[in-house]
Amino acid sequence: MSEAARAVPAAANGPLLAVRDLARYFDVSRPLLNRLIEGDRRQILKAVDGVSFAIARGQTLSLVGESGCGKSTVARLIVGLYTPTRGTIDFEGVDLAGLSRTALAPIRRRFQMIFQDPYASLNPRWRVADIIAEPIRAHGLIAGADAVRLRVDELLRHVGLAPNDGDKYPHEFSGGQRQRISIARALSSNPDFLVCDEPTSALDVSVQAQILNLMKALQREFGLTYLFISHNLAVVYYVSDRVGVMYLGRLVELAEAKTLFARPQHPYTRMLLDAIPDLEMSGRARIPVAGEVPNPLAPPTGCAFHPRCPWANERCRSERPELKATPTGAAACHAVEERRLPDARVVAPPALPS
């Protein structure tokens, strides 16, 4: 087991999901003939490169980071849309990464995914009732058309819609209502675990809080466990028990949500939090997020964040830091390990729009 995997503590009551040293590489090389003629090498994109975390039953872990950091790839690896290059995805003691499609089929019912764009994820030619009933029929959970429709009506009520909405098509609903339909479909197979890939980012600001409140209410009612993907720090603070910060395919910090916002450790986490508007006009000094995300096909040597880090030194430029346990969580940073960072400034928790 890697040092990064050992730095991630198991949950007190046993994790529902434990990801260890998860990686996914994509071959983005030019065609073989072009490479032979022009003398090019193969190009491998390391979208996810050794990510480890655990989620306890009934809790929410959020992954945050700039676009292209690999958080959505992690989500797709967990639900089986991508095959891992290496690593394990342990779901209640079963390694999903090592299972064949046939062996995985009975377990697939227990985890579902809510996508970013509710309209693109719904079949426009199907009525809502058929969309929600599809997982029920696919997994053979309920027999009989009448019984299935009763279950669909119940799910529509759970997400704040009316049973007669099942006779309509997706285009007849607003964005927030479509996301409610997506949530109802995800719940129809009676899952234990939901992967939520930026479920509110395509919605109007006024609707986001409604959907988040609905998801938290459903989590309490059904004991659901969430992996929540977002770049909105206000949303992350509101829904999360724990937060993982990703940069260029790797976790750079992992901590309890309140701890991470009150005492961020990694310089990248501090820069992300400094980007939150200071609505109280406190006048506190802040370090803006400077520079660009490096080319993932040619990442920097050592720490991938060092070209943008004001505290980088020669060790940061030559030696890649591993995720190591700290008093407040875990961080992959030589400056944190050597205690060369100044005390973190207290950041006011971001507020959700009303």
In the chain the domains, ranked by start, together with CATH numbers, are 3-110+191-337 (3.40.50.300)
Average pLDDT over residues 317-323: 95
Residue 32 is encoded by which pair of tokens?
Answer: 């073989």
- Grouping H, G, I as helix, E, B as strand and the rest as coil, residue 229 is strand
CA gap 142, 148 in Å, rounded? 6
Q: Tens digit of pLDDT for each residue in 123-137?
A: 999 999 999 999 999
Average pLDDT, the chain: 88
pLDDT of residue 154: 96
Q: Whose structure tokens read 């983005």? A: 28
CA gap 351, 122 in Å, rounded? 31
Average pLDDT over residues 232-249: 93
4 has a pLDDT exceeding 70: no
In the chain, the percentage of residues whose pLDDT exceeds 70 is 90
Q: What is the dihedral of CA 85, 90, 96, 99, to 10 degrees?
A: 100
Q: Whose structure tokens read 């197979």? A: 189
CA gap 179, 339 in Å, rounded? 45
| Residues shown for the chain | 354
Identity of the highest mean pLDDT range in 10-19, 102-111, 202-211, 245-254: 245-254
CA gap 192, 350 in Å, rounded? 29
Identity of the highest mean pLDDT range in 148-162, 192-206, 271-285, 337-351: 148-162
Q: Tens digit of pLDDT for each residue in 208-217?
A: 889 999 999 9
Average pLDDT over residues 297-325: 93
The residue among 72, 352, 73 whose CA lies nearest residue 211 is 352
Q: Tens digit of pLDDT for each residue in 56-88?
A: 999 999 999 988 899 999 999 999 889 999 999
Query: In the sheet where 242-247 sits, what is the strand order?
Result: 111-114, 193-197, 225-229, 60-64, 242-247, 250-256, 329-331, 324-326
